[in-house]
Amino acid sequence: QVQLQESGPGLVRPSETLSLTCDVSGYSISSGYYWGWIRQPPGKGLEYIGSIYRGGRTDYNPSLNSRVTISVDTAKNQFSLRLSSVTAADTAVYYCARLQLDFDFWGQGTLVTVSS
């Protein structure tokens, strides 16, 4: 069974960079699929942030493109999200997921609050 687990700081200061990591077990990232990030502000809907393929090809939501970087570490079987210049609007539960044409496995999510 594929399992994903997000980790990272739960509090980030405004204007700083949010950094999260997703550890994958039960499947080797280098074997295929895209690996992505989705977020959900409190009480609101889901938003696709971006994704990365095993070879490093990335796909980003244009609304966040200039602030987002997703990278992969196949040796550790994990991938990461960096979101720069955060504001309160970036406060959300951040999920990592495995995706191809759909999102079949999800992490449990981690709440990141942007506040001074």
Partner 1 sequence: QTVVTQEPSISVSPGGTVTLTCGLTSGSVTTSHYPSWYQQTPGQAPRMLIYSTNTRSSGVPDRFSGSFLGNKAALTITGAQPDDECDYYCVLYMGSGISWVFGGGTKLTVL
- Binding residues for partner 1 (CB under 8 A): 36, 38, 45-48, 51, 59, 61-63, 95, 99, 101-104, 106-109
Closest distance of CB 115 from partner 1, Å: 21
Q: Which is nearer to partner 1, 51 or 80 (CB)?
A: 51
Q: CB 3: neighbour CB atoms within 10 A?
A: 13
For 28, the token pair is: 């080797």
Closest distance of CB 114 from partner 1, Å: 21
* N- to C-terminal Cα separation, the chain: 39
Closest distance of CB 13 from partner 1, Å: 26
Measured CA angle at 91 (ends 90, 96), to 5 deg:
85
